[in-house]
Structure 1
Amino acid sequence: MSMRIFLIPSATAALMLALPAFAADDAQSFVNKAAIGGMFEVDSSKIAQGNAKDQQIKDFSKRMISDHGAANAKLQKIAGEQKLQVPTQPDAEHKSDLERLQSTTASLDQPYVEMQRKAHADAVSLFEAYAKEGDNPALRSFAAETLPTLKMHRDMIEKIAGASAGLPAVKTASTPKPPAPVPGANSFTEAQAKKRIQDAGYADVSALAKDEQGVWRGQATKDGKGISVALDYQGNVFAGQQ
């Protein structure tokens, strides 16, 4: 595996939190997502610290443990001052991801990096939305102050993904679509896989199951006709694949 050295600047007051890809409606919703995301960052990075093979990933995960520990404490303090409840346990989706990392017998570098990329993209969206339209001034300031660091670390994990051999990036608009699903550790949840297939123009997506190559496969309809569909870990959607 090729190695690259990235200088990881000291975080400011707080940094990115791994969160679902939708904006918080109110202060309590924001705190819920932020706290759960912060726990996930620390816990997943502790697993990576002990099991990652690439040194740059170990360095990144070490920074996540340190900085998110501080961020979690600051969020908890603000939430307490605002009389808001702070979750102490991960939700089902993050718990499942942690269990998958913990039980990985092969290298966990790829799934960890994929989870971090998705989490940071979602975090930027969440914090941008709350910094702009949040209903609680203290939390809105927290989101605004954190956002530049979120974006910086999102860029860092993208560089790590691109620089490390064996960690292909999720498909972008400029990436040519392969002729068949690409095997690889797939960090899309079933709900995320279903939405991505629906966004590609398919309806009635059902019977999704992940095969031994990490490819989500199931059934859907398009133009009123039933068809088999597949989604690989890069986000490519295929029809008629067996």
Structure 2
Amino acid sequence: MTRTAIVTGGTRGIGAAISQALKSAGHRVIANYAGNDETARAFASEHGVEVVKFDVGDYAACQAGLAEAEQIAGAPIDILVNNAGITRDGMFHKMTPEQWRDVMRVDLDSLFNCTRPLILGMRDRGWGRVVNISSINGQKGQMGQVNYSAAKAGVIGFTKALAQENANKGITVNAICPGYINTEMVAAVPEPVLEKIVSGIPAGRLGEADEIGALVAFLCSDAAAFMTGSTLTANGGQYMT
């Protein structure tokens, strides 16, 4: 059955792969983006995905943006993928309040901002899928990323609690924790550093964004209806839970 999905941060990197995977699964997909109009337009043109620009860290902007997305689709949103995220790295003893707040706002507050306007409709219709993208560093922590690790750990707690509240309403809520994925951001890491990262991955390689997209598509399918409150790791064996 065709559903309407929105993917935050859905025009680049892992988000773009998720948008494409859901479209390939037969869903109507709308991708959110924050600032790069040229990239968003190119993605929309190439993949036939509608795009909507709004700031996931702003609740009012999310309300308006999600309403616009539903108007574009002509249908309510049944699938939400909270993927948008940023980093503002630095050792904690040097971290500024702005570095802390920026990451919390985009990486954690956004889950409330985007899920809250949609959850009542999902409950009323008796069906919904929420997939939250966390990180390996939300599970194990990472030096220089106290803000990011804290936010991504919060994503896991959010997932488990929201899953319990909505399991009897036909809504599943799950999290995925990617490891190091072969995106533009990772590819920009200096080669010696990247080699060291890969040497610590038992699979001997970086992950591919399409592999995360496939996991999201499965969690959003009817086949995953009994799976909720779960945290899936996709890190090539780098960190096992």
What TM bracket, shorter-length normalisation? under 0.3
Q: Which one has a bigger Cα radius of gyration?
A: 1
Q: Quick check: which one's strand share is greater?
A: 2
